[in-house]
Structure 1
Amino acid sequence: MTNISAQGIWLLARDKELFLPYEDFPWFKDAPVGAILKVEEPRRGHFYWPDLDVDLTEEIIEHPERFPLVSRKSAVDGPRPSGRGPRGRAEPGHDGD
């Protein structure tokens, strides 16, 4: 992480900086700083925030328009991610059910 601002967060991935605007990645907007800073890269280009249960690829970060937000609302827990792809975004070819 290189910066957290009112507009979004910046993630340094090897030789480039990736911007995650809150508009496209709302899970980070009200998250504690410590949870945002705790990011893992289990595979090259695949990022996971364990405290937030957010799982994103570099492709999703660079092209969020290709992966519309998808969630199911649970009466107990609130919005829940659907699909087997990155949390909260539909995986290509998967309708979220």
Structure 2
Amino acid sequence: MQSAMLGKNISAVEVTHISQHGFWLLLDNKELFLPFMEFPWFKHAPLSAVFNIERPQSHHLYWPDLDVDLTIESIENPQHFPLVASE
């Protein structure tokens, strides 16, 4: 019965590479690219803030130092989410 009381096992998320164009996340054994053109909040952010990622739910990522919330769907399909905040 102990296992019924535990929360969901949510895998970690990791920044694997940063370039002048964006950065890659390793998530659930796949890599996702976040181009700075689509995700401008990260372009001038300190590296420590980009690397500080939380995954409160399986479909949701949060960067607390930047106060940025993203769904995994918005990263995988940014064309479905056309609103992009200014830098």
Global fold match (TM > 0.5): yes
Aligned residue identity for 2:45 = A
Under a length normalisation based on structure 1, what TM-score does the superposition of the two structures give? 0.70
Q: 1:6 to 1:16 in 2, by over 3 A?
A: same
Q: Secondary structure at the match of 1:59?
A: helix
Give the equivalent residue in structure 1 for 2:36: 22
Q: Post-superposition, which runs of at least 4 consecutive aligned residues in structure 1 deviate over 3 A?
A: none
Aligned residue identity for 1:46 = H
Give unpaired runs (5+ residues) of structure 2: 1-14
Give the equivalent residue in structure 2 for 1:67: 81
Give the structure with the higher percent helix.
2
CA RMSD of aligned residues (A): 1.2
Aligned length, in residue pairs: 72
Deviations 1:64-83 (A, max 9, x none): 11111255xxxxxxx6xxxx
Cα shift at 1:43: 0.4
In our comparison, the structure showing a higher alpha carbon Rg is 2
Give the equivalent residue in structure 2 for 1:34: 48
Aligned residue identity for 1:57 = T
Cα shift at 1:32: 0.3
Cα shift at 1:45: 2.4
Answer 1 or 2: higher relative contact order, Cα 8 Å, separation at least 6. 2
Is the 2:24–2:33 Cα contact (8 Å) retained in structure 1?
yes
Under a length normalisation based on structure 2, what TM-score does the superposition of the two structures give? 0.78
Give unpaired runs (5+ residues) of structure 1: 72-78, 80-97
Aligned residue identity for 2:22 = G
Give the equivalent residue in structure 2 for 1:3: 17
